[in-house]
Amino acid sequence: MGNINFVQKSNLFSYTATRCLRNEYYHNDCTLCIDICPKGAFHIVRNKLTLFENECVECAGCIGSCPTEALEIESFDPNAYAAAYQHSEETPILSCKVTTPCLGVFDVEHFTVMALRSGKNVTCDMSHCSGCVLNTNGVLEGSIREKIEETNRFLETIQSPHRIESIEEKEEESGRRALFRKGFEKVKESLSESSASLVSMTTAHHKLPDQKMPLKRILLKNSLKEIVTELEITQFPESTPLFFNKQINFDTCTNCGECTQFCPTDALFPTSDKQGIYFSQGKCIGCGICEDICKPKAITAKEGFDLVSIAYERSEQLVHYEMVTCHECRCPYPYKGGDPVCDRCASFMKSNANMFTLARDL
C-alpha cells in the first residue's frame, strides 16, 4: 500500500489507516471488520488493511467492531448518539428502520454507556436482522447479538438493574410505530441542523493532539465515574470482554521497553526513571500487541478488573528494576540478583564455555 498515512473514503464511509491495529504493528492479525463486512470490501494487501471503495455499500455494520475507531460514517456518530441518548425526551428504540443505521454501528461500550447514563433499559429492534440482505450467513446479526449479550453480562456483574432488551417480532405500520415513521424525516432534519457538533464528535476527538484513546472508551469511563461510588463491589475477580488486565514476570522481563513503545493507547508506559513499567487498565483495549512483541514472553493476561482504577485511570506499577553496570560489557542492565553480569554476557559465556577453557590452558 506504500504510505499508510491516509484516509480512504467511499462517499460517506471512511477508513483511517493510521488508527488501524494492523498498521500500528505489522504482526497484528486483527480481522474484525473483514469478518463482519457483508460485501467483502476490506482486504489485506501486503499485510495492511485496505478498503476497496467500489465494494463498500456504506451499511455501517462494521463500525462497532473496530476497537480503535478507524471506521466512521459521516451521517451517524455512535459516540455522539450514545452520549446524547440520556437526553432524549422519549427513550428511542434503536432501529435501523427508524433511528439509526445498522445496529452493528454500536459496540459494547456504546450499549453500556446508554444503559448507565439513561438509567433505563435500552431496546434494540432486532426483528429485521435475520432477513436483512446484509446478514450474510447470519454473521452481522450474530455479532450484534453477541455485543448485546456481553453488555448484559457486564451490567449483571456490576449489579446494574438495567439491560439491553430486544424486539424480535415485526410490528405493523400503525400506532406508535407509524408515528415514529412519520417523524423520522423531521428527526433527520433536526440532527443535520441543530446537532452538527454531535455528528462530528468523534472526528473532533481524533484531531486532538496526542489523543490515542478511542472516544467510546472515554465515554464509558466517564459513565462509570457517575455510578462507581454507588456500587457495593468495585473489584471483580473474573474477566470481561470490556476490560483487560496484564501482568509482567519480573524474572523474565528484560526491561527492553518495546511493549511501551508499541502500545497503541499508552496503557503500558515507562516509569519516570525508565527502569520500570506502569499499566493502566482503563486504557487497555486488548489488542495483544504487547504480549506478541515481548520476546521473552514476560507479559501475560491476568483476570480481574477494578472499576475505580478504570474510571479514574489509575495506574499500577508492574515491574521495577535497579539498573547496574555489567562487569563484562560495562553496559547498564536490569539487575535481578547474583553476579552483576547481564543476560547477554551470561548467555555468551555459557555458549562459549569451551573456548574460554581452552584459552586458559594455553
Query: Would you give per-residue pLDDT tens digits along the chain (362 residues)?
Result: 334 447 888 888 999 999 999 887 888 899 999 999 999 999 999 888 999 999 999 999 999 999 999 999 988 999 999 999 998 877 789 999 888 999 999 999 999 999 999 999 999 999 999 999 999 999 999 999 999 999 999 999 999 999 999 999 876 544 444 444 444 444 444 444 444 555 578 888 888 887 889 999 999 999 999 999 999 999 999 989 899 999 999 989 988 899 999 999 999 999 998 889 999 999 999 999 999 999 999 999 999 999 999 999 999 999 998 878 888 888 887 777 778 888 778 877 777 766 655 555 55
CA-to-CA distance for 106 and 119, rounded, in angstroms?
A: 18
Question: What CATH number belongs to 233-320?
Answer: 3.30.70.20
pTM, rounded to two decimals: 0.84
CA-to-CA distance for 345 and 342, rounded, in angstroms?
A: 5
For residues 82 and 106, the answer to whether their CB atoms sit within 8 Å is yes
Which residues sit opposite 301 in a β-bridge? 246
- What is the predicted pLDDT for the residue at 174? 45
- What is the predicted pLDDT for the residue at 5? 47
At the topology level, CATH places domain 1-74 in: Alpha-Beta Plaits (3.30.70)
Residues 6+ apart with CB under 8 A from 58: 10, 11, 12, 13, 73
For residues 142 and 186, the answer to whether their CB atoms sit within 8 Å is no
Backbone phi and psi for residue 279, each to the nearest 5 degrees, phi listed first: -135, 130
Residue 157 is inside which H or E element, if any? Answer: helix 139-157
- What is the predicted pLDDT for the residue at 265? 95
CA torsion angle 221 153 268 16 (round to 10) = -80
**Which cell numbers hold the place of 103?**
445496529
**Half-sphere exposure for 323 (CA within 13 Å, toward CB):** 11
63, 78, 106, 309 from 16: Cα distances, Å? 12, 17, 18, 30
Which residues sit opposite 125 in a β-bridge? 167
Q: Domain residue spans in the chain?
A: 1-74, 76-213, 233-320, 322-361
Which pairing describes strands 322-325 and 332-335: parallel, antiparallel, or unpaired?
Answer: antiparallel
**Half-sphere exposure for 94 (CA within 13 Å, toward CB):** 26
For residues 282 and 311, the answer to whether their CB atoms sit within 8 Å is yes
Please check whether the two domains, 1-74 and 233-320, share a CATH topology. yes
CA-to-CA distance for 245 and 160, rounded, in angstroms?
A: 22
